[in-house]
Amino acid sequence: MTEKLEYFMREALQEGRKALPNCLPNPPVGCVLVRDHEIVARGYTNQPGADHAEAMALRQISGDLSDIIAFVTLEPCSFHGRTPSCAKTFVSRKIGKVYVAMLDPDPRNNGLGIALVEQAGIAVSVGLLQAEAELDMGRYLWKTE
């Protein structure tokens, strides 16, 4: 099962690469939604003010999402910036489960996105293919210096 999980996260990383350069200065995040071991929707970060990866993928699916597993390369945003919070969208759409490759060091997020989803009773797993996600997105993420 681990191999299958890694396969889906790798597909999400591939989606994220499609985001560049239009997504900047937002990080190039990718997302795939999986139902019954099949990818049923894909998304990546659009230009600022337009859909984040999660919103783009969720837009492709209607109805009950309780049997959907989301694979996202970066922690979903907890805050409403130019677009609605993706963490809150996962909660309101009642997604089944979420795999996240890495936390978002942006101080407005930094674990808050994970907490929002978990507090709603949705299982979240962080760290799947984290090293690969850091290679892809590290230079685009919030920096302390």
Q: List the catalytic residues.
A: 54
User: Does 19 interact with Zn ion (rule: CB under 5 A)?
Assistant: no
Find the binding residues for Zn ion in span 47-76 (CB under 5 A): 52
Closest separation in Å from C-beta 77 to Zn ion: 3
Nearer to Zn ion, 31 or 34 (CB): 31
Contact 76, 117 (CB under 8 A): yes
Shortest reach from residue 88's CB to Zn ion, in Å: 9
Q: Is 23 in the site for Zn ion (CB under 5 A)?
A: no
φ/ψ of residue 139, rounded to 5: -70, -15
Q: Hunting for tokens 């492709």 — which residue is that?
A: 60
Select the residue interacting with Zn ion from 9, 12, 86, 122 (CB under 5 A). Answer: 86
Residue among 9 and 100 whose Cβ is closer to Zn ion: 100
Cβ-based neighbours of 3, under 8 Å, separated by 6 or more: none
Strand order in 69-74's β-sheet? 38-44, 30-35, 69-74, 97-102, 123-126
42 CB contacts (<8 Å, ≥6 apart)?
Answer: 11, 15, 30, 31, 32, 33, 56, 57, 60
Interface residue with Zn ion among 58, 69, 70, 77 (CB under 5 A) is 77
Question: Is 101 among the residues that bind Zn ion (CB under 5 A)?
Answer: no
Q: What 3-state class would DSSP assign to 42? A: strand
Closest CB 76 distance from Zn ion, rounded Å:
6
Where along the sequence are the contacts to Zn ion (CB under 5 A)? 52, 77, 86
